Chain A
Amino acid sequence: MVGAMEIYMLLPKTNCKKCGLPTCMAFAVGLLGREKKVDECTPLVEEKKYEAKLKKLREVIAPIENASETGLIIHPEKCFGCGNCVVACPVNVAADPTRCGVGLGPQSDKVILKVEDGVVVCNNLKECRRFGPNKTLCNACTVTCPSKAIEFV
């Protein structure tokens, strides 16, 4: 996963404030948190000398833009379908304690993560602990993944 510093290196680093933020570093953090768009940095888009940087930036930012509302990214090509995240997720266990709690596949529709066709898929993201104003930085699904198929932005 790309970091704020990596994004900063691809920005003009002039602190021109045209994006509405005081520094380019703040803009990089904004990009990472998906509060800002690349096009809001007008010098980067308009000036020819930044063309290569702009192209690179769009490449590194692409996976972040595809992430879900909570910043959850699933790489289905890396997933083993082991179900570690399904069993570890506290919301899953609360929604289906008799099955998820003891390691079986969930039957309830309220669960967030479940394994379908051999890979993990996510539903009901609004239930995720990382969603909404009272969010916590839960990482039960990412630390239990043996193949790093789940990431957060």
Chain B
Amino acid sequence: MATCTGCSLLCEDIEAIVTDGGLSHVKNLCRKGHGHFQAVFTERTEPSIDGQKVDLEKAILAAAEILKNAKRPLLYGWSNSTLEAQAAGIRLAEKIGATIDDTSSFCQGLLMERIIAGTIPTCTLDDVRNFADTSIFWGSDPSNSHPRHLSRFSYYPRGDKRQKSYEEERTCIAVDVRKSATAQLCSNYYFRLAPGGDAEFMEAIISVLDGKIPKVADKKKMIELGTLLKKTEYGVIFPGLGMVYSMQDRMDLFERLMARLNEITTFRAIPMVGHYNMRGFNELLREKTGFINRVSFKGGAAAHGPENSVLSAAKSCDAALVIGSDPLSSLPFGTARALSKKPIIAIDPRRSLTTDAAKVVIPSALSGMEAGGTAVRMDGVKIRFEPIIESKRPTDEEILTRIMEAI
């Protein structure tokens, strides 16, 4: 049995047959996870400095040299690393007084902050399978982003209290700007929003729950939704990036909606985290510093603020360590251009735009396949996994420890 690290569902029931160091046959792995597992055989990185191949030891020493001489180093990535590597990363940041940030900074951070702090009630995915009768996919499309979400937890499986499952007892609702693959499965309960119309829709739901006439075009459908939500015994909302980006600083409205729903019945929220261990980093950093991301250790104490987010730190830093992420592809163009001019140390199992532009490249083992460790699923459950194939490449944790020793 192997664990897939392709998305934050961390499916544990993967059966892989390994022959001659390659994967000949994999069972139960979705298309996304299959692609992730096959990635181990193509486009692997080699240790290099300025595009010249060197041995691993030299690359690690060069990385340590860059970080030691930097005045405002930035450590970024982390969402695709194990908890052990993240802990080593936070220790490294403390030691060199660096700014540390992960992908949640411009992703699910706003929501994750509230979930971990407990202002928005949450539950585990196993609770969803056992008790939930209404699942709302808001601004998310799990069929594409987390393919096994519906079949493992939220809609199709039978649970303790939901033996008749999707046929009679479960309802799934999609709220999205387009008719996504998931919305097609929800048939009657698909609500199309205009881009940015999430706040208005939330207000409409609250007014329906209060027994008022909502200020939307399709009042009848909205009242039907209100009735369905009131009849729900255990509901779960899965907010995706679509909702988080649309709400931004109005996230308290979502808090209000959750509070109002919980006055009537039980409602929980589980953010649809993309990277497999983003929540792990958020929880770990919160334990250490009290903040989930955007932390600077400059001057010894942990400081939090928008100036420490990757978007501004990418411009103000003088060296960057990027681990398990490809910021040059994913960040906005201006920020990516500013970052590309800085000396970058890239720790990545595979080639990407960032490793191509990096000054120092350190190859690492692909976690889940070549390296074991612990990760936190999107709902906060810790999952431990073992490697399934042997590799000579060092794990993220080993690399970071060696860099720290060299410093």
**Chain A interfacial positions (CB closer than 8 Å to B):** 79-84, 86-88, 93, 99, 101-105, 114-119, 144, 146-147
B147 with A82: CB separation less than 8 A = yes
Q: Which of B34, B129, B182 contacts A81 (CB 8 A)?
A: B34
Q: Which of A99, A118, A147 contacts B33 (CB 8 A)?
A: A118
> What are the residues of chain B within 8 A of A86 when measuring CB–CB?
151
> What are the residues of chain B within 8 A of A99 when measuring CB–CB?
13
Nearest opposing residue in chain A for B14, CB measure: A105
Q: Would A146 and B156 be within 8 Å (CB), given that A82-B30, A118-B30, A118-B33 are in contact?
A: no
B26 with A80: CB separation less than 8 A = no
Q: Would A146 and B151 be within 8 Å (CB), given that A82-B30, A103-B157, A117-B29 are in contact?
A: no
Q: Would A82 and B151 be within 8 Å (CB), given that A103-B156, A114-B27, A115-B29 are in contact?
A: yes
Nearest opposing residue in chain B for A106, CB measure: B28
A87 with B27: CB separation less than 8 A = no
For the residues of A in contact with B, the DSSP-based class is loop
List of 6 A-B pairs having minimum Cβ-Cβ separation, nearest first: A105-B28, A118-B34, A103-B157, A81-B30, A146-B181, A82-B147
Q: Would A102 and B158 be within 8 Å (CB), given that A117-B34, A118-B29 are in contact?
A: yes
Nearest opposing residue in chain B for A85, CB measure: B151
A115 CA to B102 CA, complexed, in Å: 33
Q: Which of A79, A84, A93, A117 contacts B151 (CB 8 A)?
A: A84
B31 with A101: CB separation less than 8 A = no
A81 CA to B31 CA, complexed, in Å: 5
> What are the residues of chain A within 8 A of B34 when measuring CB–CB?
81, 117-118
A93 CA to B157 CA, complexed, in Å: 10
Interface residue ranges of B18-50 to A (CB < 8 Å): 25-35
Of the four ranges (under 10, 10 to 19, 20 to 34, 35 or more), the interface on chain B belongs to: 20 to 34
> What are the residues of chain A within 8 A of B150 when measuring CB–CB?
82, 84, 146
Q: Which of B15, B33, B129, B156 contacts A84 (CB 8 A)?
A: B156
A83 with B28: CB separation less than 8 A = yes
A47 CA to B114 CA, complexed, in Å: 74
Closest Cβ of chain A to B162, distance in Å, is 10
A99 CA to B157 CA, complexed, in Å: 10
Closest Cβ of chain B to A8, distance in Å, is 30
Can you give 14 contacting A-B residue pairs, CB < 8 Å?
A81-B29, A81-B32, A82-B148, A87-B151, A87-B152, A88-B151, A99-B13, A103-B152, A104-B28, A105-B13, A117-B25, A144-B185, A146-B182, A146-B185
> What are the residues of chain B within 8 A of A83 when measuring CB–CB?
28, 30, 147-148, 151-152
A119 with B31: CB separation less than 8 A = yes
Closest Cβ of chain A to B28, distance in Å, is 3
A35 CA to B15 CA, complexed, in Å: 40
B158 with A79: CB separation less than 8 A = no
Q: Would A102 and B147 be within 8 Å (CB), given that A80-B30, A81-B29, A118-B35 are in contact?
A: no
Closest Cβ of chain B to A128, distance in Å, is 18
A101 CA to B28 CA, complexed, in Å: 14
> What are the residues of chain B within 8 A of A84 when measuring CB–CB?
150-151, 155-156, 185
